[in-house]
Amino acid sequence: MQKLPFEFSHGGYIKQNAPQQRIGLRQSTTEANDGGTDFDYLFPDSARDPNSLLPAENNKDIIEKLKALGEAIIDRQGPESEDTNSIIPPVYTYWGQFIDHDITANTDQAVTDLQTDITKDDFTPLSPDFVTDKLKNLRHPTFDLDSVYGDGPTLDPQNPTQAKDFYQEDDPVKLKVGGNAEQDADGVPTPGDKIPPENDLLRDLPRNNRIAVIGDSRNDENLIVAQFHTAFLRFHNAVADWVRQNEPQNAQDNKTLFVRAQTLVRWHYQWLVVNDFLKTVTVSGTVDSILSDGLKFYHPRNGNLFMPLEFSVAAYRFGHSMVRAFYDYNRNFPNSTFRLLFQFTGRGNLGSPPAPSPFNTLPFNWIIEWDRFVDEENAAKRQKNSARKIDTHLAFPLSDLINEGNDAQPPIQELLKHLAKRNLLRGYFLSIPTGQSLADKLGIKKLTVEELQQDNSPELNQALEPFLEKTPAWYYVLKESEVRANGDSLGEVGSRIVAETIIGLMQNDPSSYLNEHEHDSDDDHLWNPSKGVKLPNGGEIRSIRDFLKFAGVLPE
């Protein structure tokens, strides 16, 4: 099969050509070119100050100690206790992953293969100037859903788009959606109950030889994010139908219809990212403060948007600690293992192993039951229908990622499969300022030594001891959440970096909802869901639950 554009492996690198101007996207402050868009430091002076970094001169010793710290924060294998549960529903873990794939790609790469470099026992941290010069983002750092749309549908056969295979042939304004298998590749019927709505078996990614035909192949690396991406395909198609029915003036031709539908999808998505996702995962008041008082730290460089490394390499990786080892996935698999969620994907050959025969598309018994992932009342009870706490305790499967490093030799393979070690080594390699330095820059009280050691096991405190004065930023963000927010949201440092970056990217994108004001009335109102599509009962899309309902993947 011809390699798809926009195809990335997790941590991999596939260069894409300069994208054409996308249909319906007004000119934003940055356009990708062959070299990609910029990564930079939110606090470049800290990245260049040795006092704000882990020591570079005794690098071999630091590398060994970072590996020990990464090992110490992995929970032992076994059932997850209730005290690991937060009040955040599990959907936010994978919504966060979807957002990351929409705005960043290539954080694991430098001018040479980073995965190779960090496996060395004596690699040298890169200079910030080298990082910002050589490391490029293969995504537009705007919330334009290019991971869903690519460069748009082919509406003129003489000018096909790279993403033409993402769209339906008979209705090119709509995205393809995959069907669900009722039997395996050998014709054996699939056992199990149908997932409501029971007659709807269009709840998979579109596939070619089991490989997802979507804008970013990373969204098929685990089943939950794959089902979330499927919801976006369905949401767009439902919006196109809604526009045809409710705004006939915007459906007179395919181009006008697609532009209107795409714009509405983007604005609903952006509004939900700010008003649902961010307000759930950050300290209360952070988002409203930024929206009312303005940005304090994120500002375009030389008029261009950039992706802050402190965000992409450290703070935004908080979601790794929210991953569960077991999920109440659906009525057929109420205690599904994390490993199975990687096997029922294209990369896992859709169930082989452990199934006797793989499927060509996702079997119907593995359709997600979204109500088990969005229920705030169950999450508030800290039951298994919640994400894990944002803290310094990671689920055991993250130390043995089944689709990573399989072609490598030990001990390199073990490192590539161990997410915590990779995160810590990557931060060191890319000269990310320490957590204490970030707190100083943000004007937030630093964690004390006692807080850094609070409630740790003796093994963890032993591994942490070399980093009590200079703590790796990723670990610091997790610990700040643990001791100052009970793991139920990010702490102040993590909240500010995450919210400031996301809102900063949107506010500096002229096509985002934050720059769309209603000019046809006496008041100049910012766009909000009351101006968008409506549920059949007239309700507005004001939560991720509403979004999934409108997409038709969560029954009323």
Residue 80: what pLDDT?
87
Residue-level pLDDT, tens digit, the chain, 556 residues: 233 334 433 333 222 333 333 333 333 332 333 458 999 999 999 999 999 999 999 999 999 999 999 999 999 878 888 899 999 999 999 999 999 999 998 655 443 444 557 888 899 999 999 999 988 998 889 999 999 999 999 999 999 999 999 999 999 999 999 999 999 999 999 999 999 999 999 999 999 999 999 999 999 999 999 999 999 999 999 999 999 999 999 999 999 999 999 999 999 999 999 999 999 999 999 999 999 999 999 999 989 999 999 999 999 999 999 999 999 999 999 999 999 999 999 988 898 776 678 899 999 999 999 999 999 999 999 999 999 999 999 999 999 988 887 888 888 888 889 999 999 999 999 999 999 999 999 999 999 999 999 999 999 999 999 999 999 999 999 999 999 999 999 999 999 999 999 999 999 999 999 998 755 444 457 899 999 999 999 999 999 999 999 999 999 8
Residue 354: what pLDDT?
67
User: pLDDT for 46-68, tens place per residue?
Assistant: 999 999 999 999 999 999 999 99
* Torsion angle of the four alpha carbons 38, 39, 45, 46, in this order, in degrees rounded to the nearest 10: 180
DSSP conformation letters of 35-70: T-EEEE-SSHHHHT-GGGS--STTHHHHHHHHHHHH
Residue 32: what pLDDT?
33
Three-state secondary structure along 484-525? HCCCCCCCHHHHHHHHHHHHHHHHCCCCCHHHCEECCCCCCE
Contact assessment for residue 287 and residue 52, using Cβ atoms and an 8 Å cutoff: no
In which element (H, E) is residue 426 found? helix 419-429
Class at the top of the CATH hierarchy for domain 37-176+213-329+368-550: mainly alpha
Q: Are strands 525-526 and 517-518 parallel, antiparallel or unpaired?
A: antiparallel
Number of Cα atoms under 13 Å in the Cβ half of residue 544? 27
User: pLDDT for 430-489, tens place per residue?
Assistant: 999 999 999 999 999 999 999 999 999 999 999 999 999 999 999 999 999 999 999 999
What's the CA gap between 16 and 35, in Å, rounded? Answer: 9
How far are the Cα atoms of 42, 474, 502, 504 from residue 496, in angstroms, in the given order? 12, 14, 10, 11
- Cβ neighbourhood burial of 81 (10 Å; 0-12, 13-18, 19+): exposed
In which element (H, E) is residue 428 found? helix 419-429
Query: First vs last Cα of the chain: how many Å apart?
Result: 39
Q: Where are the domains of the chain?
A: 37-176+213-329+368-550
What's the CA gap between 99 and 105, in Å, rounded? Answer: 11
What's the CA gap between 184 and 168, in Å, rounded? Answer: 25
Q: What is the pTM of this model?
A: 0.93
DSSP-H helix ranges across 247-396: 254-272, 279-281, 286-293, 309, 338-343, 371-374, 376-380
Number of Cα atoms under 13 Å in the Cβ half of residue 289? 11
What's the CA gap between 238 and 457, in Å, rounded? Answer: 50
Contact assessment for residue 181 and residue 190, using Cβ atoms and an 8 Å cutoff: yes
Residue 18: what pLDDT?
31
Q: Is the backbone peptide bond immediately before 353 cis, with ω within 30 degrees of 0? A: yes
